Amino acid sequence: MTAKEQIDKNKLPKHLAVIMDGNGRWAKQKGMFRSMGHENGTKAVREIVEACAEINIPYLTLYAFSTENWSRPKLEVELLMKLLVSSLKKEIKTLHDNNIKLNAIGNLEALPKKAQRELKDVIDKTKDNSRMTLTLALSYGSREEIIKTIKEISHKVKNNLISPENIDETVINNHLYTQNLPDVDLLIRTSGEQRISNFLLWQIAYAELYFTETLWPDYRKNHLFEAILNYQNRERRFGKTSEQLK
Ligand code: IPE
Ligand code: IPE
Ligand code: MG
């Protein structure tokens, strides 16, 4: 049986998040410019979006550009923004034909105007799609998101719209960029790095973490199916004992 056939459709992660890492190293290994790594990374994005749609994962979130990535060389940042615009233009039809809804999280106003317009266009066009929600984390940083959340809630407290006693997980969830998304069940990071790099700190509180040496441009459907199988063989206890789950 192939990895895909072994997947238990009743035990799928509802929300899969991916830190797509290793584009630069992939290019360097081949004696190419980093930009080639990013360009080839878009193929892996297409594969993984398709794979998730095939097995019916309802929420997929991809870390595409972090708040920290703004510190990269200007040319690399420009290239990544151009790649974002061209990928959106290229993929809009496929997304729409496959009933996929595009969503974006992060400080989107920091993106170049052109990227903002293109993003808004695809989000608008796909807003009624229901098979899967694909969220791109762009200019995203979890700490920035938490600060934004605290500011918004503080203003509401100040204006007597909410009392401090009523602040709970739901209130916080409702102010995060991810307000319409469930908690992350499985977080995958490629390229061998074992860190979170300021991604969804609140939302991964109980996520299963999966690290793989594969560099992002080499990541294919079968790698994802293997990761899902690994996830399905874990026992998620959420603080309880194993016996309680039986
Ligand atoms: C991930 O690959 C893409 C982004 C962070 C935008 P990297 O560009 O981080 O690749 P490495 O880590 O340098 O190999
Ligand atoms: C994290 O990767 C950000 C994205 C994948 C978009 P980085 O390559 O920027 O993270 P660090 O620098 O290794 O922590
Ligand atoms: Mg990296």
pTM over 0.75: yes
50: β partners? none
pLDDT tens, 200-246? Answer: 999 999 999 999 999 999 999 999 999 999 999 999 999 999 999 98
Q: Pick from 18, 19, 20, 21 the residue to mutate for probing ligand 1's pocket: most ligand atoms within 8 Å of its CB.
A: 21
Strands (E), the chain: 15-19, 59-66, 100-105, 132-140, 186-189, 208-211
pLDDT tens, 107-139? Answer: 999 999 999 999 999 999 999 999 999 999 999
Cβ(196)–Cβ(137) under 8 Å? no
Q: Between 34-55 and 74-97, two packed helices, what is the crossing angle to 10 degrees?
A: 20
In the structure encoding, which two tokens stand for residue 77, read together? 């940042």
| Structural domains of the chain in order of their starting residue, each with its CATH number | 9-146+183-234 (3.40.1180.10)
Using the atom order of ligand 2, give the atom closest to the CA of residue 137. 6
Nearest ligand to the CA of 37 is 1
Q: Whose CA is nearest to atom 14 of ligand 2?
A: 197
Cβ(225)–Cβ(54) under 8 Å? no
Q: Catalytic site residue 21?
A: yes
Q: Catalytic site residue 69?
A: yes
200 C-beta closer than 6 A to ligand 2? no
